[in-house]
Amino acid sequence: MIVIDGVDGSGKGVQTRRLLQSFVDAGEPAILTREPGGCAAAEDIRTLLVTGEPEKWDSMTELLLMYAARRSHLHDTIWPALEAGNWVISDRYADSSRAFQGIAGNLGLEAVESIHRVVVGDFEPELVLILDIPESLALARTRDRGGNEDRFEKKGTSYHAKVRDAFLQIAASDSQKYKVVDADQSMDQVSENIIGIINDRFSLNLKINSDIS
């Protein structure tokens, strides 16, 4: 399992789609999924989380909803795909809960980890790529994107600055599991960096597919 994570607007959607196509082009069985979401039940919870006003949920309620969605995602999508021999590429995973609710949301990492242990157990992705970009640029991208999935974006620049710092803090905790990718570059350069990291880690020969945007 490979996760691409980071602040909203860092380019995760494009890069996960490109990465999936790179696996497909190489003849490697792979699926693309996302959080919150990734299966029917979790997509229902996603709508509750990402639409509406920021104050609708406090950080603990967000965390509990996220882990309800994550449990369904694991049970219905991720674990069956891995058991079937597929690579799993996920747009976000548990480090988003650590960053958004644990650190930026002031719950503390221990609160997140205690729920994580109960819901997820010891399952971990093999590699987490953190796309790093200044929060002001990321939020500008999300505004340009439009749509109604903007509840977290409405929390403002200072909140997202904390989220960015949180991801970098998390990445610094384990240099083997986490790799930080500078996302303030062209999409092709970011893709090249991602593919290089994955090829080195897993001894693959993936190629960049820049047709996807």
SS (H, E, C) 200-211: HHHCCCCCCCCC
The whole-chain average pLDDT of the chain stands at 96
Identify the burial level of 211 via C-beta atoms within 10 angstroms of its C-beta, where 0-12 means exposed, 13-18 middle and 19 or more buried.
exposed
Residue 157 lies in a domain: yes
Residue 209 covered by a domain:
no
* Domain count of the fold of the chain: 1
> Residue 211 domain-assigned?
no
Predicted confidence (pLDDT) per residue in 169-197, tens digit: 999 999 999 999 999 999 999 999 999 99
Give the residue from 134, 132, 135, 138 showing the smallest Cα distance to 180.
132
Which three-class secondary structure state does DSSP give residue 60? Answer: helix
Helix 187-202 and helix 12-25, axial crossing angle in degrees, nearest 10:
50
Does residue 180 lie within any of the structural domains? yes
Residue 90 CA to residue 84 CA, distance in Å, equals 16
Alpha carbon 144 to chain centroid distance?
20
Print the domain residue range for 30.
Answer: 2-202
Q: For the domain that residue 189 is a member of, what is the CATH number?
A: 3.40.50.300
User: Is residue 64 assigned to a domain?
Assistant: yes
Mind listing the pLDDT tens digit for each residue in 112-165?
999 999 999 999 999 999 999 998 888 888 877 767 888 998 998 899 999 999
Do the domain assignments include residue 185?
Answer: yes
**In a domain? residue 15:** yes
Instruction: Assess if residue 79 is contained within a domain.
Output: yes
